[in-house]
């Protein structure tokens, strides 16, 4: 049994979605936030004291994208393909963490996450400008394929789509990126994604 520590309205959403896609049994061990984005109680199994964290038997993992790679590896293909495509999964997952997420958060904090009085319009604009450059890369990649690696949805798509879920759900202007918009719509309306979203959005 996979134990995912966190709440769906956090990065644990990503791991819940991965677990739903995998078909592996899992449970969510609720741990949410107090005011100021601080955990309501310490999480001893994560030295960073952050959510999510995963327990899988004797294995304990932190970092949501790493957790997802582990879950997908247990599930196997097509969620985690073999050979060179496994390396491509790693490439896109690392690209998500290094090239995309910080700009999503910079835009998000200054658009809807922070109290309105604390938002800085120039920071939101800078986040959007940087994110748009990455979305242009993604648009070009998706020009000739439905998913990042080709015809099949993999955990690479999941890891990137879950980071882009917040812009997708919060009125980010995706009009210049129709391939990205169509890809996100497809990813985020998969049955497993809908089950995970029901937990987050409900």
Specify the pLDDT at position 55: 98
How many structural domains does the chain have? 2
Pair (65, 91) in one structural domain: no
Assign 35 a pLDDT band (cuts: 50, 70, 90).
Answer: confident
Pair (73, 90) in one structural domain: no
pTM beyond 0.85, yes or no: yes
- Give the model confidence (pLDDT) of 109-149 as tens digits: 999 999 999 999 999 999 999 999 999 999 999 999 999 99
Decide if 62 contacts 51 (C-beta within 8 A). Answer: no
Pair (34, 66) in one structural domain: yes
Domain extent at residue 116: 84-190
Report the CATH number that the domain containing residue 143 is assigned in CATH: 1.20.1050.10
Pair (70, 92) in one structural domain: no
Report the CATH number that the domain containing residue 17 is assigned in CATH: 3.40.30.10
Pair (146, 60) in one structural domain: no
Pair (68, 136) in one structural domain: no
Pair (24, 74) in one structural domain: yes
Pair (40, 57) in one structural domain: yes
Specify the pLDDT at position 32: 86
Pair (31, 108) in one structural domain: no
Pair (36, 108) in one structural domain: no
Name which of 70, 59, 125 is nearest 93 in CA terms.
70
Specify the pLDDT at position 38: 82
The pLDDT of residue 36 is above 80 = no
Pair (99, 172) in one structural domain: yes
8-state DSSP, 178: H
Tokens 């952050």 -> residue? 50
Question: Which residues, other chains included, contact 14 with Cβ-Cβ below 8 Å and sequence gap of 6+?
Answer: 52, 64, 65, 67, 68, 158, 159, 162, 163
Q: Helix, strand, or coil here: 191?
A: helix
CA pair distance 168, 107, nearest whole angstrom: 12
Number of other CB atoms surrounding residue 136 within 10 Å: 13
Pair (134, 182) in one structural domain: yes
Residue 79 preceded by cis peptide, ω within 30 = no
Specify the pLDDT at position 33: 87
């Amino acid at each position: 049994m996979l134990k995912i520590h966190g709440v769906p309205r956090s990065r644990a959403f990503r791991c819940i979605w991965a677990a739903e896609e995998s078909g592996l049994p899992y449970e969510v061990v609720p741990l949410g936030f107090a005011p100021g984005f601080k955990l309501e109680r310490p999480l001893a199994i994560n030295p960073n004291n952050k959510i999510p964290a995963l327990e899988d038997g004797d294995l304990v993992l932190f970092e949501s994208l790493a957790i997802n790679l582990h879950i997908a590896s247990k599930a196997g293909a097509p969620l985690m393909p073999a050979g060179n495509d496994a390396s491509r999964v790693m490439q896109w997952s690392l690209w998500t963490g290094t090239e995309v997420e910080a700009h999503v958060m910079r835009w998000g904090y200054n658009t809807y996450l922070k109290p309105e009085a604390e938002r800085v319009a120039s920071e939101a604009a800078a986040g959007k400008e940087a994110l748009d450059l990455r979305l242009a890369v993604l648009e070009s990649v998706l020009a000739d394929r439905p998913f990042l690696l080709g015809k099949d949805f993999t955990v690479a798509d999941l890891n990137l789509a879950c980071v882009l879920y917040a812009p997708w759900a919060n009125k980010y202007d995706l009009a210049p990126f129709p391939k990205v918009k169509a890809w996100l719509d497809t990813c985020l309306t998969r049955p497993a994604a809908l089950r995970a979203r029901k937990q987050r959005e409900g």
